[in-house]
């Protein structure tokens, strides 16, 4: 094989640059405007007949807009921001996994710096983890059912990866159907870190959609979505799980929010 022929092969499929991947990341955010168009201003968070951690159901009303990524963070983006790929199930567009809460926050902070420097976001914008309320609001996509598409777990195969149809965290992001707001893998695939500290129930949950950060259980953070390791009952829009912030697992990843600095 000549040097020229090898160079032609490499040029035909070049690795995306950091700038290119950051632009893709920016373009994949969906703008959520509560109170406008298809986005209701408020919703009922939790589930009255769910597990103790999902009760009581309570009203949340948003007074602000935000953007959320249509996909979980893929491995090629994580690697170009963080310099490493911790994932067990390797694949450029597979969701990144095996990351703690602090590492998820670090990714958000570093990507904020890079995107500001590239003028892809303003100095008044920040990449961060979603609050629990933001996460459930976008997962429901205006629905009041168990899943964004309805109540039938049999139809879950069309929307999410779970223990009944997945052998691992192997497919790329977006392989299943999106919800009504164009967001993929909100049911299953990977658990997603939220910014809130863990609280056992919703008795004093914030009603404005912001993070629940005070007086939680020490060192525990919130995971949402369910994963490829879980059965259908853990993939509902309201199911919540509290784990140590130091948790590393090949069923745990993240999805980012883009919003104005508070």
- What is the model's pLDDT at position 13? 56
For residues 51, 192, 132, 150, the Cα torsion angle rounded to the nearest 10 degrees is -60
Say what angle helices 101-117 and 75-82 make with each other, to 10 degrees: 80
* CATH numeric code, 14-260: 3.90.1580.10
Q: How many C-beta atoms lie closer than 10 Å to residue 50's C-beta?
A: 17
- What is the model's pLDDT at position 16? 83
Secondary structure, 3-state, 187-226: CCCCEEEEEEECCCCCCCCCCCCCCCCCCCCCCEEEEECC
pTM of the model: 0.93
CA 44 from chain centre, in angstroms, equals 20
Give me the residues of the chain with pLDDT under 70, please.
1-14
Q: And the tokens for 167?
A: 């052998």
Count of alpha carbons within 13 angstroms of residue 207, beta-carbon side = 6
- What is the model's pLDDT at position 117? 96
Q: Where do the domains of the chain lie?
A: 14-260
- What is the model's pLDDT at position 204? 85
- What is the model's pLDDT at position 123? 98
- What is the model's pLDDT at position 9? 38
- What is the model's pLDDT at position 69? 98
User: Per residue in 191-224, pLDDT tens?
Assistant: 999 999 999 888 888 999 999 987 788 789 999 9
User: Per residue in 14-31, pLDDT tens?
Assistant: 678 999 999 999 999 999
Q: Per DSSP, what are the bridge partners of residue 191?
A: 252
> Three-state DSSP class for 231?
coil
């Amino acid at each position: 094989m000549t040097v020229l022929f090898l160079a032609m092969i490499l040029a035909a499929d070049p690795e995306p640059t950091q700038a290119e991947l950051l632009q893709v990341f920016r373009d994949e955010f969906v703008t959520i405007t509560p109170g406008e168009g298809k986005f209701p201003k408020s919703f009922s968070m939790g589930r009255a007949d769910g597990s103790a951690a999902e009760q009581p159901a309570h009203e949340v009303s948003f007074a602000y807009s935000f953007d959320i990524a249509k996909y979980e963070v893929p491995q090629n983006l994580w690697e170009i921001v963080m310099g490493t790929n911790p994932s067990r199930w390797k694949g450029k567009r597979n969701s990144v996994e095996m990351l703690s809460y602090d590492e998820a926050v670090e990714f958000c902070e570093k990507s904020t710096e890079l995107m500001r420097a590239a003028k892809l976001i303003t100095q008044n914008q920040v990449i961060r983890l979603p609050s629990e309320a933001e996460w459930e609001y976008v997962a429901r996509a205006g629905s009041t059912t168990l899943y964004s598409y309805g109540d039938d777990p049999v139809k879950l195969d069309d929307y999410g990866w779970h223990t009944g149809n997945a052998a691992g965290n192997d497919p790329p992001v977006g392989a299943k159907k999106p919800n009504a707001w164009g967001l993929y893998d909100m049911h299953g695939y990977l658990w997603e870190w939220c910014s809130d500290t863990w609280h056992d129930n919703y008795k004093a949950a914030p009603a404005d959609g912001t993070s629940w950060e005070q007086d939680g259980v020490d060192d525990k953070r919130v995971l949402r979505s369910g994963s490829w390791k879980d059965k259908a009952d853990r993939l509902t829009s309201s199911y919540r799980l509290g784990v140590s912030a130091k948790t590393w697992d090949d069923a745990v990843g993240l999805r980012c929010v883009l919003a104005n600095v508070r």
